[in-house]
Amino acid sequence: MNLWLRLICSSSPCPSGRNSRCRIASARAYRVLPSDLDINMHMTNSRYPASPTWRSSISSSARACCARRSRARLAADAAASKIRFRRELKAFRNFRVETRIRWWNETNGIFEHRFITRGRDGSDIVAAVMLAKGCFYAPKEKRFVAFAELLAALGLPAIDPPEPTSEIVAFMQAEEELRLAT
């Protein structure tokens, strides 16, 4: 049930007339609820990728994109993801998901989601790191939206993607091999 509430909150219209400062990264706060727990009493593995929904990945980064998406009725499409778990998240534990765009090509983007909680001493602890590949589809126009258009909607200048790191190259190669195998 909480996933439905989170989905409704993340897909609700942006406050009218207000634009926040545009960023290529965002952070959202969450709390582990009892419905998120598995039998071991920590957050179930399926909740990690469900927290940083594609809607919140971009929409929370900038209100301008939210307005663009609501006008264009863009559909978010998650193509692939991989996650590395480092620490468990127990019931009622606060955590935040920091999302940033790591790399992109014509229509696809690679997003990094870092699940961060606080340690007893107040320092940040990375609970998990997820790489996800996704894109946006414009059903009315029957086309995938160019990533440059999304960056423009975020209010960012037209910039070339950064050089992919070895981690991103390995992720894209594994995704391509799996795509060809199925």
CA-CA-CA-CA dihedral for 56, 148, 168, 81, to nearest 10: 40
- Residue ranges and CATH numbers for the domains of the chain are 22-181 (3.10.129.10)
Tell me the C-alpha distance between 85 and 99, whole Å.
Answer: 16
pLDDT score for 150? 80
Overall pTM > 0.75: no
Q: How far from each other are the two terminal CA atoms of the chain, in whole angstroms?
A: 32
Structure tokens at 56: 């919140």
**Block mean pLDDT (10 aa), the chain, length 182:** 44 41 65 86 79 52 48 76 91 91 90 93 95 88 87 79 93 93 86
What secondary structure letter does DSSP report for 34? G
